[in-house]
Amino acid sequence: MFIEKTQYLKGKNLFRFINDRATPQGRTITIDDRALLNFSSNDYLGLASNPDVVALVKLAVEAYGVGAGASRLLSGGTTLHGELEEELAALKCTQRAVLFSSGYHANVGAIQALAGAGDAIFSDELNHASIIDGCRLSKAQKFIYVHNNPSHLEEVFQAASITSKTGIKLVVTESVFSMDGDIAQLDELQGLCKKYKAFLYVDDAHGSGVLGKYGEGGLAYFGIKPDNNIIQMGTLSKAFGALGAFIAGTAEIIEYLINTSRTLIYTTAMSVPDVAASLYAIRYIKEHDEILVALLQRALYCRKLLKSAGFDVPLIETPIVPVILNDIQKCLNVSAYLKEKGIYVPAIRPPTVKTPRLRVSLSCNHRMEDIEYLVNTLSDGFDRCQ
């Protein structure tokens, strides 16, 4: 049965396989004994293998060991966990923060805990799979609004008030959308949430460490000071270069999640290396905010070059640059051509996205000539590949 299903995926060009690298994460990586320019990583600030961070992590491991050994509510946490939560709360300008073992755990666990029977969730149609699964597991009513469209959200709000009497209303959006790189209109969404007395849940996975002077995230980008109705989720596996996630908000919300979120209560705590790496990464960014400037410069440079080459990309300040194709086979062919020329940009296909694409991810460690080579090679690939 599963062989037949696998053959079906292969027939539709939807079969996936794992490519493991033999080197640290970075500007270049080695796969199958080939050095490749890496445009596929979420390590936006190059902190996953930063020597200063790595040295401090080694000291933390010597002091605390490696594995957590238990859930956070038992003996899995260390004083480093508490320090990191304090740093994250300060970064996000909230009263408290609490750690989760991954972004998936955070979204699934928090959303189903925050909204239950008698409540309502309003979710952007292009939200991440972890958000979708959190909504599915919740017993709340679900309403979907058109991607990044506050006007349609208001229409949905008005319709929902007629069709249902709800308790908690929870609007869920990414700040920077992971496959499109566009920025949610958080200022307008917050205005609507105030108007309709709803909570705003911001998945800031790709905004944290990217937007704001010190990587404060999407709210800082819009100059929004977190109110009591705003809940921020962030990951530590992207710009911060480690693994794990957190929810930041009021003390009341965080205490509630500690007592109700199943993915927090019943999961082993974050490991010491990841906690230490995240903690030192946040402190590193504060002392070296020039790396955020460098990242945004490279993102805009890449977008401008792609636009000049005829690609339809918006000139926005995020390091996720989708190059949309309408054909899965061509997407695979162009990706293979890039790899042949020493560039790693895997094809992104359904069901991850509706429209196949090459998702280009920029890092502050990319050189301008790397970006020029990428765009020139990509243009050649589009002309050559069918």
pLDDT band of residue 3 (cuts 50, 70, 90) is: confident
pLDDT confidence of residue 164: 62
In the residue annotation, 128 being an active-site residue is answered as yes
pLDDT band of residue 7 (cuts 50, 70, 90) is: confident
pLDDT band of residue 386 (cuts 50, 70, 90) is: low
- Within 10 angstroms of residue 265's Cβ, the number of other Cβ atoms is 16
Average pLDDT on 29-40 reads 94
In tens, the pLDDT along 242-270 reads 999 999 999 999 999 999 999 999 999 99
In tens, the pLDDT along 149-158 reads 999 999 999 9
Of 81, 169, 238, 366, the catalytic one is 238
- Cα angle 265-281-101, degrees, rounded to a multiple of 5: 15
pLDDT confidence of residue 271: 96
In the residue annotation, 147 being an active-site residue is answered as no
Amino acid identity at 41: S
CB of 319 closer than 8 Å to CB of 210: yes
Amino acid identity at 13: N
- What structural domains and CATH numbers belong to the chain? 19-44+289-384 (3.90.1150.10), 63-287 (3.40.640.10)
Of 41, 123, 178, 333, the catalytic one is 178
- End-to-end C-alpha distance for the chain, whole angstroms: 33
The overall average pLDDT reported for the chain is 93
pTM score of the predicted model? 0.94
In the residue annotation, 363 being an active-site residue is answered as no
Of 43, 119, 124, 203, the catalytic one is 203
Of 128, 138, 175, 361, the catalytic one is 128
Amino acid identity at 293: V
CA distance linking residue 109 with residue 138, whole number of Å: 9
Token couple for 57: 């992590």
In the residue annotation, 174 being an active-site residue is answered as yes
Exposed/middle/buried for 20, CB within 10 Å: 0-12, 13-18, 19+? exposed
How far CA 119 is from CA of 104, 137, 141, 145, 209, in Å, comes to 22, 13, 6, 17, 32
Q: What is the DSSP letter of 348?
A: E
- Cα angle 272-57-202, degrees, rounded to a multiple of 5: 65
